[in-house]
Amino acid sequence: MKKKKAAKKAGAKAKKSSSGKGSGASSDAALRKHLIDLLKGGSAHVHFMDALEQFPPNKRGTFAPGLPHTGWQLLEHSRIAQWDILEFSRNAKHVSPGFPEGYWPKTPGPPSEAEWEKSVQAFQHDLDEMSELVKSPRTDLFAKIPHGDGQTILRQALVLADHNSYHLGQLVDLRRALGAWPHD
């Protein structure tokens, strides 16, 4: 009888361990990896950078019929919002821009090619920074951000991924409507 109980216990222990529930460290690492994958994109949709790559310069400030924003507006809005989420997550002295005016560019098109490139690079840099924050084992994903009102890094990462995904879809739709989506 003791052998049966011991075997049953060992089987349950192995099952628990293989499900990831038995090891807090492996569950934590898996969660961080999933969050980073979600932030970086891919899997169910294109990467944000793919939607920006080879965006025709002459169409970056163009409205498509029935769509409310230009490519420049979507890029800059995404960059600003992502920067704000990142800085709030790691800097107690950060002050968010006024809403909504501080989250959107003033013009439909980029002032120059250099400004477009600067925005693309800043977007990628801040995405990498958020990924590093999530990846760091020193970051407690579940701890309330001390200067917030209940937010956690986990929540901020999910909000950022959701926000970027939403505007990624808008960028793809815009490029399709402008006849500038190379994947069709």
pLDDT reported for residue 33: 95
Structure tokens at 173: 């739709």
> Considering the entire predicted model, what is its pTM?
0.85
Residues 136-184 have pLDDT tens digits of 999 999 999 999 999 999 999 999 999 999 999 999 999 999 999 987 6
pLDDT the model gives residue 53? 92
Regions in the chain scoring below 50 on pLDDT: 3, 6-20
Distance CA 126, CA 66 (A): 31
- What does the pLDDT read at residue 44? 72
Pull the structure tokens for residue 125: 């840099």
Position 17 scores a pLDDT of: 39
Residues pairing with 144 in the sheet: 152
